[in-house]
A and B are shown apart, each in its own frame.
Chain A
Amino acid sequence: MAEDRHVAVLVVGGGPSGLACAASLAGSCEVLVVEREQRAGGIPRHSDHTGYGLRDRRRLMRGPAYAEAWRTAALDAGAELLEGAMVTGWTGDREVSVTSPAGRFRVGADAVVLATGVRERPRSARRIPGDRPDGVLTTGQLQNLVHLRHHEVGHAAVVVGGELVSWSAVLTLREAGCRTVAMVTPYAKAEAYALFRWAGRAALRVPVVGHSDVVRIEGRVRVRSVVVRDRATGAETTVACDTVVTTGDWIPDHELARSRGLELDPGTRGPAVDAALRTDAPGVFAVGNLLHPADTADVAALDGAHVVAAVRDWLDRGGTRRGVRIAAEPPLRWVSPQYVEPGGEPPARERLLSWTDTLVRRPVVEALQDGRVVGRCRTWWPAAPGRVFRIPSGILDDVDATRGEVTVRLRA
């Protein structure tokens, strides 16, 4: 069966990164964005608090307004936006099948940009045992309920996780009239606070229980309590609550990337890309939090603008992923992009993105190639767990293109 439709560029996913990509490209070629939600905009649609837009739109915005701004920008630039339509699989190297109320059809493209985003690991994937009562949610589901459907939540919540998004959950709970009785995080208390700086001091009254895990959820019909265990002492405490929000612990929505057979990074579990955001499949690109789970929406959107150069280059001349492999050393969990070409194009915002499992307040970052330090810098910002740690890509300037893999590591 022949493809039903052919476009120059197909963008899969209409969140900030996909919409920003479409907005930047649509002036010069035909761009189709396919979005499975009824309205494009991505996760900021239901994150109704401020903190959006600083780096990409140069102003501070609330999530829904920010989502809408990117949607409008893509449409104004001339991109076609197909909402309520889902890409269900690949039918060719750069051809996908789509299900929509108008029917099923195939879309072929000269270039495909994957912008499928990221989701939080739910309770099951975190393997938290216990009863299966109502009232256990991810932040995504919570914010959908509260902001899009004005649904009630409970009165007393335990927030699981110590990431930036955990505080976003606290803000949403507060707005819904639900008190956060504890934030349970595996990190030290100070680390959980260290990363939170953007939404006012009031929410900081949340009691943070550091170095701890929720090890059991109790309640037959509705959540009644959780059991919290201290990692150091093993001591267990029962905390009464009627709501549990599992936050963060991100995993890319990588189903299409995997079913296309793209090389994935074992740390991010998203596609391994070069600095220009090419995957290992010619003409297939990836942007946003599919690549770095999960940075802020503005950084995801800047990927969308950054990929444009490589997409245009591919449409004009072809060209495949290039560069030396970059790997992360613990406590760094991953680094993105995974391939950087010495002397070539730098990554977006000239930053490598990475994720740390421990707090280093004034870190020195080193790049090693074949056991030799080839680059070093000290950042004036901390490497804190729970949010992306950004590394100036200049530390790779002296990497030798003819030699082996580069390792990036942290020093106190």
Chain B
Amino acid sequence: MTYDVAVIGAGIVGSAIARGLAGSELSVALVEARSDVGDGTSKANTAILHTGFDASPGTLESRLVARGYHLLGEYAEATGIPVERTGAVLVAWNDEELAVLPGLKEKAEANGYHACAIVDADEVYGLVPALAPGARGGLRVPGEAIICTWTTNLALATDARRRGAALLTDHRVESVTVGDGSRAAVTEGATVLHTTRGDIAATWVVNAAGLGADQLDAAFGHRRFTVTPRRGELFVFDKLARPMVPLIVLPVPSSRGKGVLVSPTIYGNVMLGPTAEDLTDRTATGTSEAGFEFLWEKGRALMPQLLEEEVTASYAGLRAAIDRPDYLVDLDPDQRYVLVGGIRSTGLTSGMAVAEHVLELLTEAGLDCSPRADLPPPPRMPNLGEAGIRPYQDDARIAADPAYGTVVCFCERVTAGEIRDALASNLPPADLDGLRRRTRAMNGRCQGFYCGAAVTACLEQGAVPEEVAGRG
């Protein structure tokens, strides 16, 4: 068959676009190189729902982040994506950084965000008592929030699928035969994507390939940008550290270079990072000794007490940095091709607004993207957040289904019921990491010392074995 639209890349941006398009009468394929959605840049970011206060005013990024903040906030309410509206504070440690704050506040206002407030050192320590001594002042950004990036991606992809989009994982696009646009026959004139699992024909193609977007763009004959993988390494600290970090603590951008942030996570941990290192290898998601040392040094300067706690996890993510200061979203009517490039870490927040923008561009180009009448309701996602009630805490749920009373992963308190649900879901995991992103199982302080073998058995059997489920 020939799809009306093929969206390449099932990260947050691609999944949001596929979801938007699948809400119309169009037939949509969501094409993903990896075995799971959200397995590239989208799985390893700082998981912050940004107000966009610090974007460059007037850019497409500024507009879409501000819009996406509201769209995703509402969508999270509807689907149960965990969000904690903690707020943020930028902390200034010297005169230079202090002097930057008024300008940042003005910039926020130019971006349409008016809730920033400059605070003195006492107020900073009132917000974050565990901060190292020496803070001079700060800028409050009360609207910044933490969010579950995994659930966001899964919700959008699940929604796209339920609306009828075909999710084609393990389909890496290796080359492209660009269609000539003739509408004489069904497949003739369509663009053909040659993938590792066969050809996919589509009238329109949307490139949301993240780190691979420039290479795919080149396959359409363009030479307009280069993606530089920018590695960010992060430490996740034990939940026992969480009370030290009640809100997001951001660095002030200054000539001393980019600092790192300390943030609570939606799972009740504390995150320190990221580093920022430009690489050439687009698959280099390993962590490094130098990165660890850098983070440790930064952590000691920011919050020495934090380093007394155990490190629960460390990981590295690659951001798709490009050689221009804004998102690059462009529709080519002759090739019937849309590039969605340079969507860096803000893409978690802006994804749904990027999708809205792409649908507008396609509509202008003559494609009917208007919503159809019989849309299924958005999916209701399992709650992975500590702020809400989790199944192990839910009397009514356990009474109705005892599987929610059997805790399998002790550190993260993940129950047999949740693992069973993830394995039986509309978008089941392809591997252990996928199961971890859907349930938090094995993500805790013991990293599988207690439950690793049991969780592995669940994945391999595609269900929770009796001896793991217990009486539940």
Contacts and interface: CB of A to CB of B under 8 A. Distances in A.
Interface of A: 36-38, 83-84, 86, 88, 99-104, 119-125, 127, 129-132, 134, 137-138, 140-141, 144-145, 148-149, 151, 215-216, 218, 220, 251, 255, 258
A200 to B, nearest CB: 26
Interface string B423-441: 0000000001000000000
A220 B287 contact: no
29 contacts: A37-B450, A38-B468, A83-B470, A84-B406, A86-B413, A88-B393, A88-B407, A99-B392, A99-B393, A100-B405, A101-B471, A102-B471, A119-B446, A124-B236, A124-B313, A124-B447, A125-B447, A129-B287, A129-B289, A129-B291, A137-B452, A138-B446, A138-B447, A140-B450, A144-B452, A145-B452, A145-B456, A216-B289, A251-B310
A88 B457 CA distance: 25
Contact of B402 (A83, A86, A102, A141): A102
B251 to A, nearest CB: 22
Contacts of B104: none
Given A84-B470, A122-B446, A124-B447, A36 B407 contact: yes
B467 A99 contact: no
B246 interface: no
Contact of A129 (B288, B398, B453): B288
Contacts of A37: 450
A14 B453 CA distance: 20
Contact of A138 (B288, B410, B449, B454): B449
Contacts of A83: 470
Contact of B449 (A38, A86, A140, A151): A140
B314 interface: yes
B311 interface: yes
Given A36-B407, A88-B407, A102-B402, 19 more contacts: A84-B406, A100-B405, A101-B398, A103-B395, A104-B393, A104-B395, A124-B313, A125-B310, A127-B314, A129-B286, A131-B285, A137-B452, A138-B449, A144-B454, A145-B452, A145-B456, A149-B457, A220-B283, A258-B240
Nearest to B457: A149
Contacts of A149: 453-454, 456-457
Nearest to B468: A38
B172 to A, nearest CB: 15
Contacts of B314: 124, 127, 129
A260 to B, nearest CB: 13
A220 B283 CA distance: 9
B312 A124 contact: yes
Given A122-B446, A144-B454, A145-B453, A38 B287 contact: no
B292 interface: yes
Contacts of B454: 144, 149
B399 interface: yes
Nearest to B417: A101
Contacts of A215: 289
A132 B453 contact: no
A130 B406 contact: no
Contacts of B432: 134
Contacts of A218: 286
Given A38-B468, A101-B470, A132 B315 contact: yes
The 10 A-B residue pairs with the shortest CB-CB distance in the complex, in nearest-first order: A144-B453, A122-B447, A101-B402, A141-B452, A140-B449, A101-B472, A84-B470, A101-B405, A129-B287, A131-B286
Given A102-B405, A129-B292, A141 B311 contact: no
A127 B292 contact: yes
Contact of B407 (A99, A141, A216): A99
Interface string B82-100: 0000000000000000000
Contacts of A38: 467-468, 470
A251 B472 CA distance: 30
B57 interface: no
Given A103-B395, A138-B447, A149-B453, A125 B405 contact: no
B410 A36 contact: yes
